[in-house]
Amino acid sequence: MITKNTIKTIQSLKQAKYRKEYRLFIVEGKKSVEELLGSTFEVQALYATEQFLEEHDFHDERLEPVSEVQMEQMSTLDTPPGILAVVRIPEQNINQDEGMVLALDGIANPGNLGTIIRTAEWFGIRHIICSEDSVELWNPKVIQATMGSVFRMSITYTPLEPYLETARSNGRPIYGALLKGENIFQKKQWDEGIIVIGSESHGIRPSVLPLITHPITIPRAVGSVTESLNASMAAGIILASFAMHL
């Protein structure tokens, strides 16, 4: 039976400082939990309400029933989906030499990061590098938005400048999503390298710009006065263009 102390600990995982201290994060919802259980991530605990178990054919020896009230206390969502897992945060590992890599420069919105991760997997990207000031990967809103893709991706946080400098010195092209650059719809060839997507507010930071070897852009329609695209939308359009040339 779950204890009050355990519930209190799980509640604390809603805050980044406790996720960092305990090296744990929360996963909620049937699809996300199913994706989790099929991955190599270490599940520390698994909880579900009786109503959830009555409505779904779900079996796992680690599963512990909890009341609706207890689930509400643990859940990060306004409407708890009825199933919740507590998961160990894995060690990160940088792999910069395999396939096309997506580098995210200061992505601050959890929903954007989660959507980018999900979109990247759809288009065959397996490695994402995040600047250290990007939103935390284990934020519940990020995990929710990935819909399970996070469990199959290699995602690393590191200072972008030295990472890109090393990649560039190794001859890898660095594509940068900018307002001025080569029209991605007219681009005939993509060589495997790194695609840099800037922050929602400021784009690619000034210290990273000199490292861009291939500026690319998504053209606006004639007469459009919109200043920029949502970061996750821009990433999706660029990755779709890349995927067309595989």
Q: Classify 179 as helix, strand or coil.
A: strand
- Structural domain count of the chain: 2
**Prediction pTM value:** 0.93
Full residue range of the structural domain in which residue 236 is found: 101-244
Residue 122 and residue 62 share a domain: no
Question: Is residue 95 domain-resident?
Answer: no
Identify the domain boundary among 53, 88, 123. 88
Mean of pLDDT over the chain: 94
User: pLDDT 10s per residue in the chain (246 long)?
Assistant: 899 999 999 999 999 999 999 999 999 999 999 999 999 999 999 999 999 999 998 989 999 999 999 999 999 999 999 999 999 999 987 665 578 999 999 999 999 999 999 999 999 999 999 999 999 999 999 999 999 999 999 999 999 999 999 999 999 999 999 989 999 999 988 999 999 999 988 899 999 999 999 999 999 887 776 777 889 999 999 999 998 876
The residues, any chain, with a CB within 8 Å of residue 131's CB and separated by 6 or more, are: 103, 104, 105, 106, 157, 158, 159, 160
